[in-house]
Amino acid sequence: MKKRYSKQQRRTMILEAALICFAHKGYNGTTTKDIATQADVSEALLYKHFPNKMAIYAAINDFCIEEGSEVGSIVLKQKNSIFAFISSVYFLMYVVVFATPLKRKYKGISHRLFVYSILEDGQLIEKFHHSSVLPCIQAIRQYYKYLKSQNHITETTAAVDNLIWCVYSVAAMMTIFDLSDKELAFEGSIKNSFHDAVIFALRGLGLKEQVIRDHYEPQQLQDYIEDLFSQNSAV
Amino acid sequence: MKKRYSKQQRRTMILEAALICFAHKGYNGTTTKDIATQADVSEALLYKHFPNKMAIYAAINDFCIEEGSEVGSIVLKQKNSIFAFISSVYFLMYVVVFATPLKRKYKGISHRLFVYSILEDGQLIEKFHHSSVLPCIQAIRQYYKYLKSQNHITETTAAVDNLIWCVYSVAAMMTIFDLSDKELAFEGSIKNSFHDAVIFALRGLGLKEQVIRDHYEPQQLQDYIEDLFSQNSAV
């Protein structure tokens, strides 16, 4: 005899099953039958919770997109300083590569959903950029301008927003390669590659070498971000 | 009455149809029936050309992977110089973002196949890295060491290969965003974003600002690469 679950438990089980299906076959490749089978429920029961596949996908999107987290607003709303700039760049890359603690359990899965989204209608990734990437870009742009006025950043003809999109791109691509079972790119542990990528990014943004040498402390930054995460989830 | 085609023509038609199917649904999501329908042939006829789906995919892989092109070996086998370094970095990014002339017709399609490959078994992308990316990395590494000995590159603790993987990652991610109908990232035309990304990459590698200012000429580099392409396809 099957165990009995509450309505809420069933809903969560269906969503977890859907997460796995969509992450492995994309929206277009997944049927409600696949999801029902994965969740070990009948399609009839599934339809009691969600009217259609689209509604399940929408519920999952809400899960993938964390609206402006507490930690984000602390990092991205600092007073102008070298630390504010470096820690925001680090935060953007860190969250993309290592995910927030809440999402770590589903890290590969939500990243696969994002990649499928680019291959399909792009809505999920667009929402993610809007809710999570653009606030980082805004903050980094502001700190960038301040550091430029302080002569810590080298002049360039390149558009600052594009340079910051490059930072995000490095982190995103590193994460996408990491989805594969094969070792497709980068050398050494992901932690070391990540550290090298942050140096690459800070230089790419034009932060002067002397400033990077004096102020970029990977371990301190990681502790800073992880401490913020643990303080803000322990409510 | 259907037009009659030669065996070779039929084979090409089946492969072009398969290219479209695999690019839109991935290997796992495509059936031989889909390919036959897309090619407007019967499944029976399809099986006269290929024993199974795997064989079709293998034939397509050969198409996606150009073994060491003429142009590649000219750019990557220059005498050590600032131009050799900058043009190799440019070449790596240029070919990823704009494709070779031969592949331009299928650009979006082959990039979609690469992305699906990462989500599936990773074999196609691994082959691509092996045949096309690693030779660039080797050459750039060699030019990098030379420029470092000439004091044109800033010292760093980062592994040079990882820095070059970052260069490739920026170009790859830019191209992946460009697959979507939506404007997901970067500002202005792809040509402008690309130019900004090359500056980002040269800085990220540690090439000194003065050297970049004096030697990075985007239009000259584009002409150099395109001239090589046209000279080497006009056989």
- Residue A233: predicted pLDDT: 72
Looking at A46, A63, A80, the residue that finishes a domain is A63
Rounded Cα–Cα distance for residues B11 and B118 (Å): 27
**Contact yes or no for B162 and A197 at CB 8 A:** yes
Specify if A2 maps to a domain. no
Q: What angle do CA A88, A92, A97 make, to 5 degrees?
A: 140
Q: Do B53 and B161 belong together in one domain?
A: no
- Residue A68: predicted pLDDT: 55
What is the chain B residue with the closest CA to A167?
A: B170
- Residue B235: predicted pLDDT: 42
Specify if A1 maps to a domain. no
- Chain B CB contacts of A140 below 8 Å: none
Q: Do A211 and A140 belong together in one domain?
A: yes
Q: Do A37 and A77 belong together in one domain?
A: no
Cβ of residue B186 closer than 8 Å to a chain A Cβ: yes
- Residue B226: predicted pLDDT: 94
**Contact yes or no for A187 and B126 at CB 8 A:** no
Specify if A27 maps to a domain. yes
Q: Do A138 and A79 belong together in one domain?
A: yes
pLDDT category of residue A235 using cuts at 50, 70 and 90: very low
Are A120 and A148 in contact, with CB atoms under 8 Å apart? no
Q: Where are the alpha helices (DSSP H) in chain A?
A: 7-29, 32-39, 43-49, 53-64, 70-76, 82-98, 101-104, 107-119, 123-128, 134-149, 160-178, 190-204, 209-215, 218-233
Are B79 and A83 in contact, with CB atoms under 8 Å apart? no
**Contact yes or no for A170 and B173 at CB 8 A:** yes
Q: What is the pLDDT of residues A112-159, one digit of tens each?
A: 999 999 999 999 999 999 999 999 999 999 999 999 999 999 999 999
What is the percentage of chain A residues whose pLDDT exceeds 90? 78
Please tell me the total count of domains within chain A: 2
Q: Do A185 and A125 belong together in one domain?
A: yes
Q: What is the pLDDT of residues A151-173, one digit of tens each?
A: 999 999 999 999 999 999 999 99
Specify if B41 maps to a domain. yes
Q: Do A57 and A168 belong together in one domain?
A: no
Partner-chain residue, chosen from A169, A201, A209, that has the shortest CB–CB distance to B174 = A169
Task: Output the tens digit of pLDDT for each of chain B's 235 residues.
Answer: 567 888 889 998 999 999 999 999 999 889 999 999 999 999 999 999 999 999 999 998 877 776 557 888 899 999 999 999 999 999 999 999 998 887 888 878 989 999 999 999 999 999 999 999 999 999 999 999 999 999 999 999 999 999 999 999 999 999 999 999 999 999 999 999 999 999 999 999 999 999 999 999 999 999 999 999 998 874 4
Q: What CATH number is attached to the domain comprising B13?
A: 1.10.10.60
Looking at A47, A63, A79, the residue that finishes a domain is A63
Specify if B1 maps to a domain. no
Q: What is the pLDDT of residues A47-100, one digit of tens each?
A: 999 999 999 999 988 777 765 578 888 999 999 999 999 999 999 999 999 988
Looking at B18, B41, B63, the residue that finishes a domain is B63
Residue A13 corresponds to which tokens in the numbers above? 């089980």
Q: Do A19 and A54 belong together in one domain?
A: yes
Q: Do A113 and A86 belong together in one domain?
A: yes
Q: Do A39 and A150 belong together in one domain?
A: no
Specify if B17 maps to a domain. yes
Are A22 and A59 in contact, with CB atoms under 8 Å apart? no
Q: What is the pLDDT of residues A201-214, one digit of tens each?
A: 999 999 999 999 99
In order of A1, B145, B173, B213, the CA distances from B61 in angstroms are: 49, 34, 21, 40
Q: Do B39 and B149 belong together in one domain?
A: no
What integer best gives the mean pLDDT of chain A?
A: 92
Domain with B104, as residue range(s), is 67-233
Specify if A89 maps to a domain. yes
Q: Do A46 and A131 belong together in one domain?
A: no
Cβ of residue B157 closer than 8 Å to a chain A Cβ: yes
Chains A and B form CB pairs within 8 A to the count of 164
Rounded Cα–Cα distance for residues B196 and B106 (Å): 25
Q: Do A119 and A52 belong together in one domain?
A: no
Specify if B2 maps to a domain. no
Length of chain A counted residue by residue:
235
What is the chain B residue with the closest CA to A113?
A: B119
Partner-chain residue, chosen from A166, A180, A196, that has the shortest CB–CB distance to B159 = A196
